[in-house]
Amino acid sequence: MKPVTIVSLLLVIVGFAAIRWANRSKTPRQTIRTLVGGLVSINGLVVLLALGMMILTLGNPLTVLAQTTTTAASSDPSMGAALATGLACIGAGIAVGISGAAAIGGITEKPEILGRSLIFVGLAEGIAIYGLIISFMILSR
């Protein structure tokens, strides 16, 4: 059996156990509290299992991956494209969050500045598009 199958089977069993345990409580408030506690513990278990799988994978690399002689930068530009898009989208998300919150605050005080505030939010969204254009340029080489 594959380790992924075993982990999936264990998660299903733990989920059914949490549901069974939640049905034993008497009041709806107790049931909700028990379910939320069970979900938090299941999420913690999933995180621990993911960390364990990551440590096992990094500790025992595949022999095919360990024997490659070419560098990733010279043969595969997809990592650069992924970084360009990902970091641009993270920056755009931060910029839209800050400018959007400021725009909503300004619009509540002066509704006539709606157009100007939308321009600033649109400029912040443009950062993600620029990152996407750069990733297309990287991949087209």
Lowest mean pLDDT among 31-35, 101-105, 118-122, 136-140: 31-35
**Residue 77, CA distances (Å) to 65, 68, 73, 137, 140 in order:** 18, 17, 6, 10, 9
Tell me the whole-structure pTM to 2 decimals: 0.47
**pLDDT tens figures, 23-79:** 666 676 776 676 667 666 666 667 667 777 777 777 666 655 545 555 544 567 888
In this predicted structure, what is the pLDDT of residue 76? 74
User: Tokens representing 57?
Assistant: 């994978």
In terms of C-beta distances under 8 Å and separation of at least 24 residues, what long-range contacts does 42-51 make, across chains too?
42/11, 42/14, 42/15, 42/18, 45/11, 45/14, 46/11, 49/7, 49/10, 49/11
